Chain A
Amino acid sequence: MLRLILMSCAGLCFLMIASCGGTRLNQQQQIRVATEAELLKAEAEKNSIKDENVTIADSLFAVAQEISKRSVMSHDVVFYTDLAIAHYRVALARHSVMTSHTAKDNASEALKISEEKVHRYKNVLAEIRTDEDVEVKSKGGVSNE
């Protein structure tokens, strides 16, 4: 009987330790995802992004924070925060894609202008060289080329 009681207590202790470890792991995960979500939210605000994805992300993050206030350990907190992070990422990525399109267009335009300039200057140089040759030949000299 005593052996049975002692074994039961040991089992209970083991479970408590295990659950404490699990709680710590879950709390760390919550802190990590909460921090990530806050940073992404601040980034969206800094860039004045206010699209559908940001709205969804804000709602999800608010729900996660509400749940975490009420309960220390909850897989739902991590889920909602993770989903909020994903939506913030979509919103930020869409914004940066637009910016990158603009950067690409500007680079393309600048490249085109430079190509045209180079082409024009090459023509000018060819003309100058032709004039030089005509001038030198008319004086009975040898051309530079």
Chain B
Amino acid sequence: MSKSKIITILLSAFFGAAATAVAETYDKMTEIQAFDSKLDSMYSILQKEDVVTATQIYSQTKGRLNEAKKAIEKNSLNKPLGKNAQNVFMICSVSATAALLEFERELNMAEARKMSVKRDSLLMELHNLHETINLLEGSRAARLSSQLQATKAQSSQLQEDLERERLEKQQSEAEAERLKGDLEAERERARKLMEDAQKRFGELQSTLIKVSRDVRGTIISMSDILFESGKAELTADLKTSLAKIAGILIVYKDPKVVVEGHTDNTGSKELNQKLSEQRSAAVLSFLVEQGVTVERLTSKGYGFSKPVADNKTSEGRAKNRRVDLIVQDAPVGRK
């Protein structure tokens, strides 16, 4: 319950109408004072914000408030307010309400202006930050760009190297293909030569010369009847055969030849070993005389260590007494 109501109840019990008039006067004075203090406080804030229009509103409203105060004070305290005082108070009250609202607007606008100024300052700061970022980004971009240029140059060099290598590889492959072709041709030639040689060797086949093949190559096995008994001298027949063989070997240059001397088991081991060595050496010498290059020839005596037949029979012993020419199959491509 408001103060004025309490006063009204207490006083009206004793003073009736006079009390009501006093309460009314009190109410209105309180209202005027409330307007006054609110007006003063808002005006002081607006002065700090430098709002020029506030001063006119303040003085006009202050004038009206003072007018109202005077009108009410003029009125006798124990009588109701006269028409003039009431009219003055009404205008004062509404004008003060308008003034306070206008002040509130001015305060809001002042705040909005302050925020706008702050925002302008932030926009400036934003602009500067933007510039700084652009600068840093620009210098980094420039650095990256130069790195990129260097990398591109490196890459370009690598590309050139790769291209050169590719061309070289192409050339090598072409060369390899050509060599392969040559090799094939060589193989074919060698095969044909070998076939020819074998055919020629085959033609030497007789009762005293046996031509066969095994893993070692072509074996031309010459009977020891072609030798003087117990001696290493070559007979005329043997020389004839060897000459033919030499002729074949001179034409077909690749195969290497191993001359092996063998005996039966008649006599001592040392004697047979010596005889087999002498006979194989004699054949080798003859072939060299005939023009076969010595580097292709090897001679070896085995004595009776490698029989091909049974030494218990005379036929067997006859077979064991021999000189073998092993014409090795030439590996392709080797000179």
Contact = CB atoms under 8 A, between A and B. Distances in A.
A79 B95 CA distance: 13
Nearest to B87: A79
Interface residues of B, number: 33
B70 interface: no
A14 interface: no
A6 to B, nearest CB: 37
Nearest to A76: B87
Contacts of A86: 91, 94-95, 97-98
Interface stretch (A24-32, A63-71, A119-127): A119-127
Contacts, number: 96
Contacts of A99: 105
B104 interface: yes
A97 B129 contact: no
Contacts of B140: 128, 132
Interface residues of A, number: 33
Contacts of A96: 101-102, 105
B225 interface: no
A100 B129 contact: no
Chain B interface, >50% SS class: helix
A117 B126 contact: yes
B88 to A, nearest CB: 9
A114 B133 contact: no
A103 interface: yes
A90 interface: yes
B108 interface: yes
A35 B119 CA distance: 41
- Name the 4 nearest CB pairs between A and B, nearest first: A93-B101, A100-B108, A89-B98, A86-B94
Interface of B: 87, 90-91, 94-95, 97-99, 101-102, 104-106, 108-109, 111-113, 115-116, 118-119, 122-123, 125-126, 129-130, 132-133, 136-137, 140
Given A94-B101, A100-B104, A107-B115, 6 more contacts: A93-B104, A108-B115, A111-B116, A114-B119, A118-B122, A121-B133
